[in-house]
Each structure stands twice: as structure tokens, then as C-alpha cells.
Structure 1
Amino acid sequence: MKDQAEALRKRLRTAGSRKTPRTLAVVSGKGGVGKSNFSLNFSIALSKKGFSVLLFDMDLGMGNLDILMGKSSEYSIVDYFDRNVSLKDIIMNGPEGLRYIAGGSGLSDLVHLDERIIEAFTEDLSTLFIEYDYVIFDMGAGITNESIKFILSVQEIVCITTPEPTAITDAYSTLKHIHLVDSSIPFYLVINRVQDEKDGQQTFKRISKVLQSFLGRESFYLGMIPDDRSIQQAVRRQIPFILYNERSQASKSILTQVERYRNKHFNEKKAANGFPFISNLKRFLFERKGEHHEEN
């Protein structure tokens, strides 16, 4: 009886202290705009402020977060599905206390996974999430049938673009795609490789105006990242630029964006179990499984 009472008290303490992390998806309309570099340095900046952060590389088949950190990851998400390695074991240690899961092609056939595997995957995520303040998904460029399920499950979306017309057009197309499925997910915009703050503001206004005119959609300017030489130097040396040169304009911009983001949290998506991402993802995956069975 004494053991049962102690076990109950332990469960209650765990439940009372567990975290409900904020979930963000970092997206872009096209590749090569600096999305993964932003995801990594933004995550490190949050970690440096004392938050527990898990960065999930969802750029399937093209994951490069570990390369940007100069690391060779022992495991990736592929090992979870193909080799039955536990989710906790595939989490790698990054700089400044950051934890990350390396990318791979393990989720490319998530739509077709057995329901039992999906159930186990979402259950493992639930257990994992209680350890973090933020879970950030670095998505692949554009939208796929698999990535949209994760994107629609998060609480907030950060879209990375550059001032180039093609990048702006592709960013709008991506945000439009998301909006037409769910118009409630908040959009943040980061303008990369700008000449100065004015260049970033003008680019944001162009995208914001189109979103407002055609979708009636508000967006929030998270900030800009200058076309800083130290970024290229850091990438070549495989060191996150916020650690390579903390005084660079790019590093200062990331720190400003973290503060701006933390002061601008939108309303959370609510879920009965306290984990909106998990319940949303489960719903999208099982809905898709149902559609697949109907087609067959």
C-alpha cells in the first residue's frame, strides 16, 4: 500500500511539473534561402537564454542541421522507424544545451505506416515533449503530403524568404497553401540576406500586402537577417554563426528576433490532453489513413 501511494505521489509530481512546449514549424517557399541556418541559430539563441529546446530536422532526405554544426550524428529519424531505436536515443547533443534529431527519409512514407506504428510514434512524442520548452521543426522547402501534417499541427509558423522576387512568390504560395487548409495558424516572417533594415521592412510589406489583399490574412514581422559575411565564414567552418561571431550583425538580428518572438506569442491552440501538437498530428495522420483505406 505504501509503495502504491508513493507511486501515485510521483505521478502527480511529474504531471504537475511537466512542460507543454510551444511548437514552431520553420518553412520556406523555395530552397536556398537560409531556412535551416535560421532554425539552428534561432534554436541556439533560445537555448542560450536558458530554455530547453528540441530541434527536429524534417528536411527529409536533405537534412543538413548536423553539417551546419560540424557534427556527425550517430542516429537519425530513420533509425527510429527502420531499426527500432528509441526516440530518446536518436536525440543528439548540440551546442549550448540544444538537443536535436537529425533528418533523413524515415518519414517520407508516414502516410502509409501501420496504425499501430503511428500510435506508438505519437505516444513517444508525448513522453518526449514534457522535457522541452520549445520544439522547432525545420521543414523541407515547399509543401509535401507528409510535411503538411506536421505544419498544420504546430502552434506557429515562421516563414523564411529573401528579397528576391522568386523567393517572395514562392513564400506567398506556401503560406497560401497553409492558410487555405487552416486560417488560424499565426504567420511570422523573417527576411534573410537583406542589405539593411529598410530592405527587410520593404520586403515584408510587399508580402504582407499580398497576404492581406488576397487572403485577408495578417502576418507578423519577426525581423531581418543581413547579408553578413560572417554567415558564409561560419558555414564554411561548420560553426553556427551566433557562436562564430556573437557581435556580428546577423547574430544581433537573431537575438532581437528571439526577444520579439517571446514578446509576441499568439494564443495557443488548445487540446484536451494538453499537447495540441500531438493531438493535431494524430488526427491528421489517422484521417489520412482513413482516406487511404477508402481509396483502396
Structure 2
Amino acid sequence: MANDQAERLRERLKSLKLRAKSIAVMSGKGGVGKSNFSLNFSLALQKENKRVLLFDLDIGMGNIDILIGESSNYSIVDFFLGNLSLVDIISHGPNGLDYISGGTGLGDIFKMNEERFQQFLNELDYLFKAYDFIIFDMGAGISEDSLRFILSVDEIIVITTPEPTSMTDAYSAIKNICVNHQTMPFSIVVNRAFNNKVGDQTFQRLFQTMKQFLNRDVTLLGVIPDDSSIMKAVIDQQPVLLYQPSCKASKALLLISKDFLTRIDKNEDIPESTPFISKLKSFFMKGRQI
């Protein structure tokens, strides 16, 4: 069954010549709903007729499988340690969403021999030509290895909640990235906000702090309300967008995806050739020299 799916995907990819925009979804701390957002945001973009690949890179704690109540046949570890291609390990989730399941060993990317790493880059570049968006669900916080991935993407979506510790950790993560990349675009999603006013106030605090200490602007992508439907969906292992499509959280997620696409259409053209692969290769080589 898995082989048949991979073969069908290969046939589909042959006719596509897209150039994916790469997005890293991250947070300063765990437990803020980052993976839940990544999953539902991917589905929301798909509802707008976009081809999306969700790549779970939550180091050692990949949980996309858990959120959708399915067990993937393969994970990224099967590429690192086995002989499978990236196409082989793509799973198909709810509404046909393509995703690569996470696992332990992100650092293996930077410990592979040069030939194996080049194969990884070539196959990833192949996937970049087959999707509109590749969304990397990163682990909470930043490690040396995950930073290489984060610095290679086109933009970053940071998930925070109104809790002071969540905001402080989000700022620390953003500061870490700004030290290494002065022009990286950031968007903020405030999750679990009691209302829009609280969400806006949370964003304004982050905005003012970044402006004062980092001299950087940041945009508010959206506010997701503290909706009990999300927890019910998690317990039932379904994306809230499909579980309760008319709830407040689902409506907020759909609005976020529409606003995101509108912003791209107005201000950003998808480049003819993505710099992601060359950036990642450059960071890999630097890591080898350390």
C-alpha cells in the first residue's frame, strides 16, 4: 500500500514544476500549540487549493501522527538510517495532506557523509518543485542543528500564548535568530487568547520589545481564541479544522490562511529558484568545519 502511494506520488510529481515557499513554524517553549497550528494551517492552505507538504522536525518528539490519530509506515529516520527516498517516506493524512513524520535524529543530517547529504539535498529540491508550500514544524526552542534549518527558510511563524513565560521564550528564540539573520521575516500567531483584545495586546508587547531591543519589525498573522473545541479535537485525534469546522478556532485558522495568502500575492512572488537548498548546504558545510 505504501509503495503504491509512493509510486502515485512520483507520477504526480513528474508533471509539476512549482517552487515551494519554505516556512518554519516554531515556538520559544513547548505546550503552546505549535504542532497543532502547523497541522491545521497546512490543511487551511490546502483548502485554498495549495499543494502543501508538512515536514515534522520536532526533534525526538514528533507528534503529527498523534494529532491525526494515524501511525505512519515511515519517518524521517528511515531516510537517515535506511535506503528509502524522501518520496517513499511521505505519508498521506486527513484530506490527503502530504506529510513526513518526525523522529529522533535531526542531527544525523549534519553527520551524514557528503554523498548521503547531497542525496538528501537533491531529493528535497525535487520536492520543492512539487509543492506550493513546505512547512517545517520545528521543535520548541532552538538547537544548533535546528537553527541551520530555521535560517534557511523563506520566513518564520512564531507561536506564542499570552502567558508571560511563553512571550519571554518567544522573544528569546527570535533574538537568537536575529543575531544570525538580520533580515529574516517573522510573523506572530497568538494562540489561546481569551479574546482578540488580549491577542492584540500580547502582540503589541512583543512588537515593542523587538523594536526597542532588536530594531526589528514583526507582523501579526492572527489570533486564535482559547476554544474548547481544540482540546476535544486533540483528545479525539483529529484536526480541529475537520472536527469542528464552524468553531471559533477553525474560523480563525481559515482567516489566518487567507490573510497569509493575500499578503504573499500582494507583496511577494514565489522565486523562480528557492535559496533554501543552497542555504542549508552552506550551513551544513560550516557545521562540518566546526
Structure 1: 5+ residue stretches without partners? 1-13
State the SS of the aligned residue for 2:107: coil
Provide the C-alpha distance between the structure 1 equivalents of 2:96 and 2:22, rounded to a whole number of angstroms: 18
How far 1:268 moved relative to its partner? 6.5
The reply to whether residue 158 of structure 1 matches residue 157 of structure 2 is yes
State the SS of the aligned residue for 2:134: strand
Q: What do the CA deviations read for 1:57-103 (whole angstroms, capped 9, x no partner)?
A: 00011000011001100000000011111110100001123100000
Provide the C-alpha distance between the structure 2 equivalents of 1:200 and 1:62, rounded to a whole number of angstroms: 28
Partner in structure 1 of residue 7 of structure 2: none
State the SS of the aligned residue for 1:109: helix
How far 1:108 moved relative to its partner? 2.4
Provide the C-alpha distance between the structure 2 equivalents of 1:172 and 1:106, rounded to a whole number of angstroms: 26
Provide the C-alpha distance between the structure 1 equivalents of 2:17 and 2:257, rounded to a whole number of angstroms: 23
**8 Å Cα contact 1:52/1:97 also seen in 2:** no
How far 1:269 moved relative to its partner? 8.9
How far 1:45 moved relative to its partner? 0.6
**8 Å Cα contact 1:111/1:288 also seen in 2:** yes
Structure 2: 5+ residue stretches without partners? 1-13
The reply to whether residue 252 of structure 1 matches residue 251 of structure 2 is yes
Name which of structure 1's ranges 277-286 and 243-252 shifts more when overlaid on structure 2. 277-286
State the SS of the aligned residue for 2:60: coil
Partner in structure 2 of residue 72 of structure 1: 71
The reply to whether residue 178 of structure 1 matches residue 177 of structure 2 is yes
Provide the C-alpha distance between the structure 1 equivalents of 2:251 and 2:186, rounded to a whole number of angstroms: 22
Provide the C-alpha distance between the structure 2 equivalents of 1:184 and 1:115, rounded to a whole number of angstroms: 29
How far 1:131 moved relative to its partner? 1.0
The reply to whether residue 108 of structure 1 matches residue 97 of structure 2 is no
Provide the C-alpha distance between the structure 1 equivalents of 2:150 and 2:46, rounded to a whole number of angstroms: 23
Written as runs of structure 1 = structure 2, the 5 A alignment for 1:49-60 is 49-60=48-59
How far 1:115 moved relative to its partner? 1.4
Partner in structure 2 of residue 8 of structure 1: none
Q: What do the CA deviations read for 1:127-180 (whole angstroms, capped 9, x no partner)?
A: 122110100000000000110011001001000000000000000000000011
Provide the C-alpha distance between the structure 2 equivalents of 1:91 and 1:216, rounded to a whole number of angstroms: 40
How far 1:267 moved relative to its partner? 4.4
Q: What do the CA deviations read for 1:14-45 (whole angstroms, capped 9, x no partner)?
A: 79x61111110001000000000000000001
State the SS of the aligned residue for 2:176: helix
**8 Å Cα contact 1:82/1:106 also seen in 2:** no
Provide the C-alpha distance between the structure 1 equivalents of 2:68 and 2:229, rounded to a whole number of angstroms: 15
Equivalent pairs: percent with the same residue?
49
Q: TM-score, normalised by structure 2?
A: 0.92
Question: Whose Rg is larger?
Answer: 1
Partner in structure 2 of residue 4 of structure 1: none
The reply to whether residue 212 of structure 1 matches residue 208 of structure 2 is no
**Structure 1 ranges of 4+ moved more than 3 A:** 266-270
Alignment RMSD, CA only?
Answer: 1.5
Partner in structure 1 of residue 282 of structure 2: 283
Q: How many matched pairs?
A: 275
**8 Å Cα contact 1:269/1:276 also seen in 2:** no
Written as runs of structure 1 = structure 2, the 5 A alignment for 1:3-14 is none
Partner in structure 2 of residue 194 of structure 1: 193
How far 1:116 moved relative to its partner? 1.4
Partner in structure 1 of residue 9 of structure 2: none
**8 Å Cα contact 1:157/1:187 also seen in 2:** yes
State the SS of the aligned residue for 2:238: coil
**8 Å Cα contact 1:155/1:268 also seen in 2:** no
How far 1:226 moved relative to its partner? 0.7
**8 Å Cα contact 1:79/1:106 also seen in 2:** no
Partner in structure 2 of residue 169 of structure 1: 168
